[in-house]
Amino acid sequence: MATSPRDKQLKFEPWTDPNAKPFVRVERMTKKFGEFVAVDDVTLDIYQKEIFCLLGGSGCGKTTLLRMLAGFERPTSGRVFIDGVDVTNMPPYEQAVNMMFQSYALFPHMTVEQNVAFGLKQMRVTKPEITRRVADMLDMVKLGPYTKRKPHQLSGGQRQRVALARALVTKPKLLLLDEPLAALDKKLREHTQFELINIQETLGVTFIVVTHDQEEAMTLSTRIGVMNHGEIVQVGTPSEIYEYPNSRFVTEFIGSVNMFEGRLIEDEPGYVRIQCDDIEAPIFVDHGVSSAPGATVWAAIRPEKVHIGREKPASPDNWAMGVVRDIAYMGDLSVYLLRLDSGKVVRVTQPNVFRHAEDRITWDERMYLSWHASSPVVVTK
């Protein structure tokens, strides 16, 4: 049976292999602009053939980090190694690293063909070879009929593919992509995401992608590095980042979440119990937490992991009661906003499994909320 790309990706986990050599190694890199610290002591290992996403809000330092990898900015301190070579102070034109710019930066006075051929000409590749490689690459990104057009005669999606072709035709060891899909509309973006993954797998190039769009990061990447205030706060696979966030920032940044502040009232190696101000019943979590009893912790529960029902749950833990304030029907699922007695609003999503449900939940109904003991994520910072 043929394996799907997704299966291959699941097996592709070089970061768990202690013998694997990282392809890109960022060592304690810091970049300051005057007093402002844009990138703060970042250490990062990225392996060959990965699609690594740097994810963060605007101004978190992700683009500066990318620009240092490309050689456009010099780090204030720290080193970068690519394929074992120290490239920290190498000018961009000597590095075998290409970048796809957010604005695409296509040369406006050159045709599509000339744009793509630019890098090969710089490498002094022979003319017939240039023609062949440019034609192959343009076929791959499905721009065959547009070779003689100038960039301003192309649509946004076509320009994006010219930029990709231009960056890939020289067979770089590493491709840096700065918000590659930000300028495309939603439908085209989704389509292009999968196309990018296919091209990356065909060519076997390592990708480092900068994005602020968590959905884009989730679909594209083998691993995500979440950045905040110039620091990398967590590195992990998309599911690790979503299900096991290590801090309140990551929990709230990725997806939506219900956050309950509380104190540890029972702290055992196998389980903990948390008393929150907002809910009467304690939150019971079926795994240990490394924190002192009585310490303030946050229990985060994803909306899709909360069950909503009319029956009072049997368990003394892990339930709450609220009034339905708002319902949003999204097609595949419905979002319910419930207000607890404390005033806190809890978000619950339920898949719409049946086309027609008897006895639907309606506004102003008092409902019981409950969740499994494995659902809450407990974070201490």
Binding site for another protein (CB under 8 A): 70, 72, 91-94, 97-99, 101, 103, 105-109, 118-119, 122-123, 150-153, 166-167, 170
Q: What is the nearest approach in angstroms of another protein to the Cβ of residue 67?
A: 9
Q: Give Rg (Cα) of the chain.
A: 25
Closer residue to another protein, CB minimum distance, 106 or 299: 106
DSSP bridge partners of 367: 322
Q: What is the nearest approach in angstroms of another protein to the Cβ of residue 159?
A: 13
Residues 378/285, Cβ–Cβ less than 8 Å = yes
Q: What is the nearest approach in angstroms of another protein to the Cβ of residue 369?
A: 50
Q: What is the nearest approach in angstroms of another protein to the Cβ of residue 268?
A: 55
DSSP single-letter state for residue 364: T
Closer residue to another protein, CB minimum distance, 103 or 315: 103
Q: Phi-psi region for residue 3, left (φ > 0), alpha (ψ -120 to 50) or beta?
A: beta
Q: What is the nearest approach in angstroms of another protein to the Cβ of residue 196?
A: 19
Closer residue to another protein, CB minimum distance, 100 or 264: 100
Distance CA 79, CA 75 (A): 8
Dump strand ranges (E) for the chain: 24-33, 36-46, 51-55, 77-82, 85-86, 97-100, 174-178, 206-211, 223-228, 231-236, 258-267, 272-276, 283-285, 296-301, 306-309, 319-329, 333-340, 345-351, 366-371, 377-379
Segments in 71-207 forming alpha helices (H): 112-122, 127-140, 156-168, 186-203
Closer residue to another protein, CB minimum distance, 102 or 275: 102
Q: What is the nearest approach in angstroms of another protein to the Cβ of residue 51?
A: 19
Closer residue to another protein, CB minimum distance, 60 or 125: 125
Distance CA 289, CA 373 (A): 14
Closer residue to another protein, CB minimum distance, 108 or 294: 108
